[in-house]
Amino acid sequence: MILGKVIGSIWATQKEEGMNQLKLLIIEPITWRGDSAGAPIIAADRIGAGRGERVIVSRGSPARTIFPKSAPIDAVVVGIVDSLEVGVDDAEE
């Protein structure tokens, strides 16, 4: 799983079978400090995340397990981050 920030949405009226009614978001991977941590990805969202929110994203085969087998999904938002806490030793990296 990765930590990310929602930076946008994608609308597609023509989608593969199994992707109907799915909201697609553009997610920027981030570090726990909020710094960019890689290229943006597209993730399916069924929980209602919005622009600017920090989210937890599952990728690869674990992301596919919550969708029908025919859905070509490789990233999904699995949580909206309310807060996070990092230990003092970890904060000194």
Q: What is the pTM of this model?
A: 0.84
- Contacts of 29-36 spanning 24+ positions with Cβ under 8 A: 29/2, 29/3, 29/4, 29/57, 30/3, 30/4, 30/5, 30/54, 31/3, 32/3, 32/84, 32/86, 34/5
Q: What does the pLDDT read at residue 87?
A: 84
Architecture per CATH, 1-56 = Beta Barrel (2.40)
For the chain, the structural domain boundaries read: 1-56
Q: What does the pLDDT read at residue 21?
A: 80
pLDDT in tens, the chain (93 residues): 999 999 999 998 888 877 878 899 999 999 999 999 999 999 999 899 999 999 999 998 787 777 767 678 889 999 999 999 988 665 555
Going by their DSSP bridges, the two strands 2-10 and 41-45 should be labelled as unpaired
